Structure 1
Amino acid sequence: MSTTQMQYAGAAAELAEEPLSIYISRTFRAPRQRVFEAWTRPEQMLKWRGPEGWEVLEAQSDSRPGGEHRVVVRGTPKPRSEADRPVEVTGASWGTYLDIEPYSLVRFTWRADWAPDEESVVTVRLSDSQDGGTLMDFTHDKFLTPQSAQGHNQGWSSAFNKLTKFLEG
Protein backbone atom coordinates (compact mmCIF):
# COMPACT_ATOMS: atom_id res chain seq x y z
CA MET A 1 0.00 0.00 0.00
CA SER A 2 1.38 3.41 -0.91
CA THR A 3 0.14 6.92 -0.28
CA THR A 4 1.76 10.06 -1.63
CA GLN A 5 0.57 13.63 -1.20
CA MET A 6 2.10 17.05 -1.49
CA GLN A 7 1.02 19.96 0.62
CA TYR A 8 1.33 23.31 -1.10
CA ALA A 9 1.43 26.49 0.90
CA GLY A 10 -0.71 28.51 -1.50
CA ALA A 11 0.50 31.62 -3.26
CA ALA A 12 4.23 32.07 -3.82
CA ALA A 13 4.26 35.07 -1.50
CA GLU A 14 3.24 32.81 1.39
CA LEU A 15 6.03 30.26 0.90
CA ALA A 16 8.29 31.82 3.53
CA GLU A 17 5.52 31.57 6.14
CA GLU A 18 4.30 28.07 5.27
CA PRO A 19 7.04 25.91 3.74
CA LEU A 20 6.09 23.16 1.36
CA SER A 21 6.20 19.52 2.38
CA ILE A 22 5.70 16.04 0.98
CA TYR A 23 4.26 13.01 2.74
CA ILE A 24 4.70 9.40 1.63
CA SER A 25 3.41 6.33 3.45
CA ARG A 26 4.70 2.85 2.60
CA THR A 27 4.27 -0.56 4.17
CA PHE A 28 7.19 -2.99 3.96
CA ARG A 29 7.15 -6.74 4.57
CA ALA A 30 10.10 -6.41 6.94
CA PRO A 31 10.56 -5.86 10.69
CA ARG A 32 11.02 -2.31 11.99
CA GLN A 33 14.63 -2.99 12.98
CA ARG A 34 15.47 -3.93 9.38
CA VAL A 35 13.80 -0.79 7.96
CA PHE A 36 15.47 1.41 10.60
CA GLU A 37 18.89 -0.05 9.76
CA ALA A 38 18.29 0.57 6.04
CA TRP A 39 17.92 4.27 6.94
CA THR A 40 20.91 4.48 9.29
CA ARG A 41 23.62 2.02 8.23
CA PRO A 42 25.88 3.23 5.41
CA GLU A 43 26.41 -0.25 3.92
CA GLN A 44 22.63 -0.59 3.58
CA MET A 45 22.09 2.99 2.37
CA LEU A 46 24.43 2.13 -0.54
CA LYS A 47 21.82 -0.38 -1.76
CA TRP A 48 18.82 1.94 -2.13
CA ARG A 49 19.35 5.66 -1.56
CA GLY A 50 18.75 7.54 -4.77
CA PRO A 51 16.20 7.17 -7.55
CA GLU A 52 15.81 4.02 -9.63
CA GLY A 53 18.49 3.80 -12.29
CA TRP A 54 20.90 5.85 -10.18
CA GLU A 55 24.01 4.43 -8.48
CA VAL A 56 24.92 5.27 -4.89
CA LEU A 57 28.65 6.02 -4.92
CA GLU A 58 29.10 6.89 -1.25
CA ALA A 59 27.11 6.71 1.99
CA GLN A 60 28.17 7.95 5.41
CA SER A 61 26.06 7.88 8.57
CA ASP A 62 26.77 8.70 12.20
CA SER A 63 23.21 8.01 13.37
CA ARG A 64 23.03 9.85 16.67
CA PRO A 65 21.68 13.32 17.45
CA GLY A 66 24.29 15.76 16.13
CA GLY A 67 25.87 13.08 13.92
CA GLU A 68 26.23 13.70 10.20
CA HIS A 69 25.06 11.85 7.11
CA ARG A 70 26.08 12.15 3.46
CA VAL A 71 25.06 10.31 0.29
CA VAL A 72 26.56 10.74 -3.20
CA VAL A 73 24.64 9.43 -6.22
CA ARG A 74 25.25 9.31 -9.98
CA GLY A 75 22.69 9.00 -12.73
CA THR A 76 20.97 10.61 -15.70
CA PRO A 77 17.97 12.82 -14.91
CA LYS A 78 15.02 12.73 -17.28
CA PRO A 79 15.20 15.60 -19.79
CA ARG A 80 12.81 18.45 -18.98
CA SER A 81 12.03 19.04 -22.64
CA GLU A 82 12.60 17.39 -26.02
CA ALA A 83 15.42 19.85 -26.68
CA ASP A 84 17.36 18.71 -23.58
CA ARG A 85 20.06 16.07 -24.05
CA PRO A 86 20.32 13.44 -21.30
CA VAL A 87 23.50 14.09 -19.31
CA GLU A 88 24.90 11.98 -16.47
CA VAL A 89 25.38 13.93 -13.23
CA THR A 90 26.71 13.33 -9.74
CA GLY A 91 24.93 14.84 -6.75
CA ALA A 92 25.40 14.86 -3.00
CA SER A 93 23.01 15.29 -0.09
CA TRP A 94 24.04 15.75 3.52
CA GLY A 95 22.90 16.97 6.90
CA THR A 96 22.74 16.39 10.63
CA TYR A 97 20.66 13.92 12.59
CA LEU A 98 18.22 15.74 14.87
CA ASP A 99 16.44 12.81 16.53
CA ILE A 100 17.10 9.08 16.58
CA GLU A 101 14.83 6.62 18.40
CA PRO A 102 15.87 3.06 17.51
CA TYR A 103 13.31 1.28 15.35
CA SER A 104 10.76 4.11 15.45
CA LEU A 105 12.15 7.54 14.43
CA VAL A 106 14.86 9.01 12.22
CA ARG A 107 14.84 12.82 11.77
CA PHE A 108 17.54 14.83 10.03
CA THR A 109 18.31 18.02 8.16
CA TRP A 110 18.71 17.74 4.40
CA ARG A 111 20.87 19.83 2.11
CA ALA A 112 21.72 19.00 -1.48
CA ASP A 113 24.15 20.46 -3.96
CA TRP A 114 21.35 20.76 -6.56
CA ALA A 115 19.46 23.14 -4.20
CA PRO A 116 22.27 25.01 -2.38
CA ASP A 117 20.07 27.65 -0.72
CA GLU A 118 17.58 25.18 0.74
CA GLU A 119 17.77 23.33 4.05
CA SER A 120 14.85 21.02 4.68
CA VAL A 121 13.96 18.39 7.28
CA VAL A 122 13.23 14.68 6.77
CA THR A 123 11.19 12.75 9.34
CA VAL A 124 10.82 8.96 9.12
CA ARG A 125 8.39 7.35 11.58
CA LEU A 126 8.22 3.56 11.78
CA SER A 127 5.45 1.53 13.38
CA ASP A 128 4.11 -2.00 13.21
CA SER A 129 1.62 -2.55 10.39
CA GLN A 130 -1.47 -4.70 10.73
CA ASP A 131 -0.03 -7.36 8.42
CA GLY A 132 3.07 -7.87 10.57
CA GLY A 133 5.39 -5.65 8.53
CA THR A 134 6.47 -2.05 9.04
CA LEU A 135 4.54 1.11 8.25
CA MET A 136 6.78 4.02 7.26
CA ASP A 137 5.35 7.53 7.49
CA PHE A 138 7.79 9.81 5.67
CA THR A 139 7.65 13.60 5.69
CA HIS A 140 10.12 15.92 3.98
CA ASP A 141 9.34 19.56 4.67
CA LYS A 142 10.55 23.15 4.51
CA PHE A 143 11.03 23.24 0.72
CA LEU A 144 11.40 26.73 -0.71
CA THR A 145 9.54 26.13 -4.00
CA PRO A 146 6.84 23.84 -5.41
CA GLN A 147 9.39 22.66 -8.00
CA SER A 148 11.77 21.50 -5.28
CA ALA A 149 8.96 19.69 -3.44
CA GLN A 150 7.80 18.02 -6.65
CA GLY A 151 11.33 16.94 -7.63
CA HIS A 152 12.03 15.50 -4.19
CA ASN A 153 8.65 13.74 -4.18
CA GLN A 154 9.56 12.00 -7.44
CA GLY A 155 13.06 11.16 -6.21
CA TRP A 156 11.96 9.75 -2.86
CA SER A 157 9.08 7.77 -4.40
CA SER A 158 11.53 6.17 -6.81
CA ALA A 159 14.07 5.50 -4.05
CA PHE A 160 11.35 3.84 -1.95
CA ASN A 161 10.71 1.44 -4.85
CA LYS A 162 14.38 0.45 -4.50
CA LEU A 163 14.02 0.24 -0.71
CA THR A 164 11.06 -2.14 -1.13
CA LYS A 165 13.12 -4.41 -3.40
CA PHE A 166 16.07 -4.26 -0.99
CA LEU A 167 13.98 -5.09 2.10
CA GLU A 168 11.67 -7.65 0.53
CA GLY A 169 13.94 -9.15 -2.14
Structure 2
Amino acid sequence: MASRNPELERLIEREIVISRVLDAPRELVFDAWTQPGQLMAWFGPKGFSCATHEMDLRPGGRWRFDMRGPDGTVYPNRIDFLEIRRPERLVFDHGTDRDDDPNRFHVTITFDSQDDGKTVLTLRQLHPSKARRREVIGFGAVEYGYQTLDKLAAHLRGG
Protein backbone atom coordinates (compact mmCIF):
# COMPACT_ATOMS: atom_id res chain seq x y z
CA MET A 1 0.00 0.00 0.00
CA ALA A 2 1.33 3.44 -0.90
CA SER A 3 2.03 5.78 1.98
CA ARG A 4 -0.25 8.79 2.29
CA ASN A 5 1.09 12.31 2.24
CA PRO A 6 -1.47 14.46 4.12
CA GLU A 7 0.16 17.76 3.07
CA LEU A 8 0.06 16.78 -0.61
CA GLU A 9 -3.56 15.68 -0.24
CA ARG A 10 -4.46 19.07 1.29
CA LEU A 11 -2.85 20.84 -1.67
CA ILE A 12 -4.53 18.63 -4.26
CA GLU A 13 -7.98 19.23 -2.79
CA ARG A 14 -7.45 23.00 -3.32
CA GLU A 15 -6.12 22.76 -6.88
CA ILE A 16 -7.65 23.11 -10.34
CA VAL A 17 -5.53 22.00 -13.30
CA ILE A 18 -6.32 22.62 -16.96
CA SER A 19 -4.10 21.81 -19.89
CA ARG A 20 -4.11 22.23 -23.65
CA VAL A 21 -1.85 21.34 -26.56
CA LEU A 22 -1.38 24.45 -28.70
CA ASP A 23 -0.21 24.36 -32.31
CA ALA A 24 2.63 26.86 -31.84
CA PRO A 25 6.17 26.85 -30.46
CA ARG A 26 6.39 27.58 -26.77
CA GLU A 27 8.22 30.89 -27.31
CA LEU A 28 5.19 32.18 -29.26
CA VAL A 29 2.75 30.86 -26.66
CA PHE A 30 4.78 32.46 -23.87
CA ASP A 31 4.86 35.77 -25.77
CA ALA A 32 1.06 35.68 -26.11
CA TRP A 33 0.92 35.58 -22.29
CA THR A 34 3.53 38.26 -21.67
CA GLN A 35 3.19 40.86 -24.44
CA PRO A 36 0.44 43.30 -23.45
CA GLY A 37 -0.88 43.81 -27.00
CA GLN A 38 -1.28 40.08 -27.50
CA LEU A 39 -2.61 39.35 -24.02
CA MET A 40 -5.39 41.90 -24.36
CA ALA A 41 -6.43 40.39 -27.71
CA TRP A 42 -7.44 37.00 -26.30
CA PHE A 43 -7.47 36.89 -22.48
CA GLY A 44 -10.72 35.86 -20.81
CA PRO A 45 -13.61 33.48 -21.49
CA LYS A 46 -15.82 33.59 -24.58
CA GLY A 47 -17.68 36.90 -24.83
CA PHE A 48 -15.50 38.62 -22.21
CA SER A 49 -13.19 41.56 -22.83
CA CYS A 50 -10.54 43.27 -20.72
CA ALA A 51 -9.70 46.90 -20.02
CA THR A 52 -6.30 47.45 -18.43
CA HIS A 53 -5.68 50.06 -15.73
CA GLU A 54 -2.06 49.13 -14.99
CA MET A 55 0.33 46.55 -16.46
CA ASP A 56 3.87 45.91 -15.29
CA LEU A 57 4.90 42.51 -16.60
CA ARG A 58 7.90 41.66 -14.43
CA PRO A 59 8.45 39.79 -11.17
CA GLY A 60 7.05 42.12 -8.51
CA GLY A 61 4.89 43.83 -11.15
CA ARG A 62 1.13 44.03 -11.30
CA TRP A 63 -1.66 43.85 -13.87
CA ARG A 64 -4.89 45.58 -12.82
CA PHE A 65 -7.76 45.12 -15.22
CA ASP A 66 -11.52 44.95 -15.52
CA MET A 67 -13.02 41.93 -17.19
CA ARG A 68 -16.38 42.73 -18.78
CA GLY A 69 -18.84 39.89 -19.23
CA PRO A 70 -21.22 39.46 -22.15
CA ASP A 71 -24.04 40.91 -20.00
CA GLY A 72 -21.98 44.04 -19.24
CA THR A 73 -21.02 43.06 -15.70
CA VAL A 74 -17.56 44.37 -14.77
CA TYR A 75 -15.23 42.20 -12.70
CA PRO A 76 -12.19 44.08 -11.27
CA ASN A 77 -9.08 41.85 -11.32
CA ARG A 78 -5.53 42.05 -10.08
CA ILE A 79 -2.58 39.83 -10.93
CA ASP A 80 0.69 40.16 -9.02
CA PHE A 81 3.56 38.59 -10.97
CA LEU A 82 5.91 36.47 -8.88
CA GLU A 83 8.02 34.69 -11.51
CA ILE A 84 8.47 35.14 -15.26
CA ARG A 85 10.91 32.62 -16.71
CA ARG A 86 10.87 32.82 -20.51
CA PRO A 87 9.76 30.64 -22.22
CA GLU A 88 8.93 28.01 -19.65
CA ARG A 89 7.03 29.35 -16.65
CA LEU A 90 4.78 32.09 -15.26
CA VAL A 91 3.77 32.33 -11.61
CA PHE A 92 1.35 34.89 -10.16
CA ASP A 93 -1.35 35.55 -7.61
CA HIS A 94 -4.79 36.42 -9.02
CA GLY A 95 -7.84 37.90 -7.37
CA THR A 96 -10.09 40.91 -7.29
CA ASP A 97 -8.54 44.38 -7.29
CA ARG A 98 -8.46 44.57 -3.48
CA ASP A 99 -5.53 44.30 -1.10
CA ASP A 100 -7.50 42.14 1.33
CA ASP A 101 -9.12 39.70 -1.12
CA PRO A 102 -9.47 36.45 0.90
CA ASN A 103 -10.13 34.47 -2.31
CA ARG A 104 -6.86 35.29 -4.11
CA PHE A 105 -5.41 32.19 -5.68
CA HIS A 106 -1.94 31.18 -6.79
CA VAL A 107 -1.36 30.34 -10.47
CA THR A 108 1.52 28.47 -12.10
CA ILE A 109 1.59 28.14 -15.88
CA THR A 110 4.13 25.91 -17.60
CA PHE A 111 4.96 25.86 -21.30
CA ASP A 112 6.42 22.53 -22.49
CA SER A 113 7.72 21.93 -26.01
CA GLN A 114 6.74 18.85 -27.95
CA ASP A 115 8.98 17.39 -30.65
CA ASP A 116 6.37 18.34 -33.28
CA GLY A 117 6.71 22.06 -32.49
CA LYS A 118 3.51 22.23 -30.45
CA THR A 119 3.30 23.40 -26.84
CA VAL A 120 1.66 21.77 -23.85
CA LEU A 121 0.33 24.57 -21.65
CA THR A 122 -0.59 23.53 -18.12
CA LEU A 123 -2.34 26.02 -15.84
CA ARG A 124 -2.52 25.20 -12.13
CA GLN A 125 -4.68 27.24 -9.75
CA LEU A 126 -4.17 26.76 -6.02
CA HIS A 127 -7.16 28.15 -4.13
CA PRO A 128 -7.08 29.24 -0.47
CA SER A 129 -9.38 26.42 0.67
CA LYS A 130 -11.15 23.29 -0.48
CA ALA A 131 -14.46 25.13 -0.09
CA ARG A 132 -13.33 28.00 -2.33
CA ARG A 133 -12.12 25.54 -4.98
CA ARG A 134 -15.54 23.85 -4.91
CA GLU A 135 -17.24 27.25 -5.18
CA VAL A 136 -15.27 28.39 -8.27
CA ILE A 137 -15.79 25.03 -9.96
CA GLY A 138 -19.50 25.49 -9.25
CA PHE A 139 -19.67 28.83 -11.03
CA GLY A 140 -17.84 27.48 -14.09
CA ALA A 141 -14.14 28.27 -13.56
CA VAL A 142 -12.96 25.13 -15.35
CA GLU A 143 -15.21 25.75 -18.37
CA TYR A 144 -14.18 29.44 -18.42
CA GLY A 145 -10.54 28.38 -18.27
CA TYR A 146 -10.94 26.15 -21.31
CA GLN A 147 -12.81 28.93 -23.15
CA THR A 148 -9.87 31.23 -22.43
CA LEU A 149 -7.44 28.66 -23.82
CA ASP A 150 -9.69 28.28 -26.89
CA LYS A 151 -9.35 32.04 -27.46
CA LEU A 152 -5.58 31.75 -27.04
CA ALA A 153 -5.45 28.92 -29.61
CA ALA A 154 -7.47 31.03 -32.08
CA HIS A 155 -5.18 34.01 -31.46
CA LEU A 156 -2.11 31.87 -32.15
CA ARG A 157 -3.70 30.70 -35.43
CA GLY A 158 -4.13 34.33 -36.42
CA GLY A 159 -7.88 34.43 -35.94
- Shorter-chain TM-score: what band? 0.7 to 0.9
Q: In the superposition, relative to structure 1, how do residues 45 and 59 fare at CA in structure 2: closer, same or farther (>3 Å)?
A: farther
Residue number among 108, 112, 115 corresponding to 1:130 in the alignment: 115
Structure number having the greater strand percentage: 1
Percent of aligned pairs with the same residue? 28
Q: What amino acid maps onto 1:147 in structure 2?
A: E
Kindly indicate whether the alpha-carbon contact (under 8 Å) linking 2:32 and 2:38 is maintained by their aligned counterparts in 1. Answer: yes
Structure 1 segment 15-164 matched on structure 2, within 5 A: 18=11, 20-58=14-52, 60-76=54-70, 87-112=71-96, 116-144=101-129, 145=132, 146-150=134-138, 151-164=140-153
Kindly indicate whether the alpha-carbon contact (under 8 Å) linking 2:52 and 2:63 is maintained by their aligned counterparts in 1. Answer: no
Q: What amino acid maps onto 1:118 in structure 2?
A: N
Structure number having the greater helix percentage: 2
Q: What amino acid maps onto 1:37 in structure 2?
A: D
How far has the Cα of 1:148 moved from its partner? 1.5
CA distance in 2, matches of 1:166, 1:40: 14
Q: What amino acid maps onto 1:100 in structure 2?
A: I
Q: What amino acid maps onto 1:162 in structure 2?
A: K
CA distance in 2, matches of 1:135, 1:61: 26
With the length of structure 1 as denominator, give the TM-score of the two structures.
0.75
Stretches of structure 2 lacking an aligned partner (at least 5 in a row): 1-9
Q: In the superposition, relative to structure 1, how do residues 162 and 168 fare at CA in structure 2: closer, same or farther (>3 Å)?
A: same
Deviations 1:9-42 (A, max 9, x none): xxxxxxxx54521111111111212111111121
How far has the Cα of 1:143 moved from its partner? 4.4
CA distance in 2, matches of 1:60, 1:129: 34
Deviations 1:128-148 (A, max 9, x none): 123211111110112432022
CA distance in 2, matches of 1:126, 1:42: 18
CA RMSD of aligned residues (A): 2.3
- Give aligned pairs, total: 143
Stretches of structure 1 lacking an aligned partner (at least 5 in a row): 1-16, 77-86
With the length of structure 2 as denominator, give the TM-score of the two structures.
0.79
